Every structure is written in C-alpha cells, then in structure tokens.
Structure 1
C-alpha cells in the first residue's frame, strides 16, 4: 500500500493551481518533489496533509481516502513544515507531550524514542526551554523530533535543510534512511538538488501545477536525452523551458 494521488486538481478559493496531478509514494522510498517557486509544490503538500480540499481527484493512503475518512488518513502522516510552527507558551517537553496526545501514542515507549532523537539533535538538555529561546535551526529540529518520534506511515518533509547546520542535515538524512528501512514512505520538497540526487529514490518535477516529469534519475536522464546529466541539469532545463512559455 502507498500514497496514491490521482488526477488531483486543486488550489485556493476557485483558482486551480494544480491541474490533473498524479503520483505515488511507495513504502520504503524517498520521493523528491522538485520545482521552481510557484510550480505547485506547497499547494501539493497542503492537499496531501489535508489543509486544502481538492476540486477533483483523490488522495488515498493505505486504503484510507482523505475526502471520505480524514481522521483515519491523517493518523498515518507526520509533517515537517518549511517554517517551524511552535506555541510560544509551551516548553519543548510540552510540545512533545502534545504530539503524543494528538497521535494517541504510548507515552513511555514514545518518550524513549523522543529522548534518543533529542540527543541526536542536541536538544536533550533543553526540555524546559520555550520557543523564544530557540534559534531557527533549533526550532526546525523540534519539528523533526516531533514528527519522527511517531509511527507515521508517510512523512511529508517541506524544505527541511534550510536553517540546519551540516551535522543536523547529516543526522536528518540518517533518520530518513532509518524510517525508509522500517517501511515508511517520505515525500520531500527541496531545492538542495545535489542532496536530493544522492538520497531520493524517485523524483516528481512540477511546473505550472502539472507533473512535467517523474521517475528515477536514470529515467529522467533518458527522457531528457542526457545520459550524463545531473538532477541540477535537468532542473535548470525545466526552469528555462518554463521561462520561455
């Protein structure tokens, strides 16, 4: 089973930003969502996490249809937003406890996972800190810990590398590999293409709200008739093609 997005048309108000978008994320794989600013990446993610209602099409995760059973669908996902979202009046410890309550997690077992993640991201001595005390990178780490301590079947990670130091980036990538090995799927939006090329199993290239290309790097190279091209080369060609339209 997997995430299946089929013929998705959607956007904000009555304006269709996405036009007949279809893709999937299989268990145990990392899929990179690639595109220029305004291509539809954030709109796609907002539909997948249930913040926007599709005009048409379907979004199904492991047999649960977002439109028909939103609660069962959302229990399977965890989300790391591009901009950290924290409550000013809650400590780090209280943020984690709120996440445990929201997902209905076993408190003792989940705290064991949380402590391991806090140590990895060097937050283990900051449980009593409030968001005002955290840097941008530290806030991002809080969001990562909150998401990855869950047992989600699908992780949606939006531009996760901005604000993270190189060690934290390395730790996050290791964590993604661990979740993949456990059978979770990951959908990641990023502009850090050299990292995406090394770690993603497949790619979805968006432009003007449509899927312009999808597949492994080798498949994208074959479609672009450029056997030795990097993901960056393919992306830049897409960008030039967009600017000419």
Structure 2
C-alpha cells in the first residue's frame, strides 16, 4: 500500500483557522450552494457526556479516524487507554498532541501502525463520509480491526444516503479545494455493512450511533504494542 498524497482541503485556511480559534462558523458547501454547518465549538471542547458514553463502549486499543482537534483521543488517554488519532490536517494533529494525545498526520487509506490489531475504530462526527465511498471505507476499517473488533460510527441524524463534491467554507467565504464526502443515516450505513455483525445502535443528545463488529480475520500485522511504539511513528 502506498502513502496517499495530502487531501486537497488539508491546507484550507478556513479549517485551520477554525481549529486555532476553537469556533466557527464553518460549513461543507456543495456545488448547488447547500451548506452543512460543522460543530467546531463542540469538536474543540472537552469530550461531553454523549462522547464519554460512546467511549465507554470501546474495547482494547482504539484508533480514532479523523480525530480532528483530539477531544476523544485526549479523553481516552486520560483514562489510561492505548489510543491513536489520525487526521489529514496538520492543524488537527498539532491540536491533539497539545492536549496530550498521540496522533499521526495520515489518511485512513495510508499504511498505519497496528493494522489488523486494533480493538476499536472510531468514525465520529460524520467521518463515515471520508472519501465519499462508504463501502470502501468500511472495507478499509475491517482490515484495521482485529478479528471480532468493534467499529463505532456516528451517523447523520436524518435518513440520508448521498455523495457529493464539497468545499470547506467560512463566513468570510474563504474556500478550500473540493473533495468527495458522503452523508449516511443509520439505515444507509447498515445497508453498506455487509460482512459485519450489528453490535448496537442508539441515539443520545440528538446524535445517532451504530456499533458494528468485524467477522473476518485480518491479514496483517503489527500490533499496537505500546504508547511508545505509537509515539515513535508520529508524522511531522
């Protein structure tokens, strides 16, 4: 597997600026002008009660895909859990590290430490949309997890299944480069989850979640042996 190039939005000023200030507004904008507000303030705050309830379900070593500014990584690290965040944004990785978490600047489709050995993979805050290819993302996640490992995904609060090319934009109309994204409600995610066992679904605080358990043995693997191993592989 070769390392993928940085995604076009990773250097987008609107996203980096929002993470620096800890507030929006920040939106995903489709070509037709439709805007999806992004919850920057919540992402940059400490893990809330709903987040903590999700994290209580995590098993083994945890990989937070699209960790953003790192609130979930920091919460798990504070509990003494082995956890690694990955994000394509340098600003997000830097923020996570400042909170005391371990993070790498990587795409989920890049080579990653511990492939095939993670106990839990998190796809929170709409990250089931990464790459605009839900089935491809689920297949990749299955290869990251240990056999019987757990995927916890946050789905859209409405019944939706769409893929679109979007931009990041702020109130001043600064715009990043376009990238592919998907929005999935719970029913849509479950349709794509062939080969997974359903491990639960629930709603809390106006948010919706699905837990899926991998069935197939994974072929790889360097185990996430320790925090030291994870730390030594941090990307600059």
Q: TM-score, normalised by structure 1?
A: 0.33
Q: TM-score, normalised by structure 2?
A: 0.34
Identify, as 1 or 2, the structure richer in helix. Answer: 1
Higher relative contact order (CA 8 A, sep 6+): 1
